[in-house]
Homo-oligomer: A and B are copies of this chain.
Amino acid sequence: MRKFIAEVSEKLRSHEHKLTSRRECILCILLENKDKHLSAEEVYNLVKQKSPDMGLATVYRTLELFCEFNIIHAMDFGDGRKRYEFGDDSGDGHHHHHLICEKCNKIIEVNEDLLEELENRITNDYQFSISNHHLKIFGICKECMAKSNNKQ
């Protein structure tokens, strides 16, 4: 993780930006919550515990900066705010998919890319040159299914 932070610092530095202590603090929060898909407001609330005088605008500006440098990217899970996760969204787009539980709002990542065959079909049938895709699958997760079965 030390190494990752140093890498980020280098990336920023090579374009006349600094990894200031506030920015590093935000990066840490993101690292500590890799699995959570935090929103800006959520990052802000977590960051305030370590750094109570940080402003919300700084969080927004930092998240935008990290996006520009492809350290994180924004996703929309349909709740009206951007949520962030690590990873480059600009490349050939073969990243993971998301299962969204409609009961507990948990987000499960599916890391295999399961759409290659489908993409080939679309490329052929529509002569559409694919650069990226977003697949969101809504439903009920294993745990919530178990809970609702117990209640019955």
What residue of chain B has the Cβ atom nearest to residue A134's Cβ? B136
Stoichiometry, as copies per complex, reads 2
Interface size on A, residues (CB 8 A): 32
What residue of chain B has the Cβ atom nearest to residue A132's Cβ? B138
CA distance A57 to B45 in the complex (A): 34
A93-B142 in contact (CB<8A): no
B135-A133 in contact (CB<8A): yes
A130-B137 in contact (CB<8A): yes
Inter-chain contacts of A134 with B (CB < 8 A): 134-136, 138
A140 CB within 8 Å of chain B: yes
Partner of A139 from B102, B114, B128, B135 at Cβ < 8 Å: B128
A129-B145 in contact (CB<8A): yes
What residue of chain B has the Cβ atom nearest to residue A136's Cβ? B134
B133-A137 in contact (CB<8A): yes
CA distance A125 to B103 in the complex (A): 19
Inter-chain contacts of A5 with B (CB < 8 A): none
A110 CB within 8 Å of chain B: yes
B114-A121 in contact (CB<8A): yes
Interface residues of A (CB under 8 A from B): 76, 78, 93, 99, 101-102, 108, 110, 114-115, 118-119, 121-122, 126-142, 145
List 15 A-B residue pairs with CB atoms under 8 Å apart, sorted by A's residue number: A76-B76, A99-B128, A108-B128, A114-B122, A115-B118, A122-B137, A128-B139, A128-B140, A129-B140, A131-B140, A132-B139, A133-B136, A133-B137, A134-B134, A135-B136
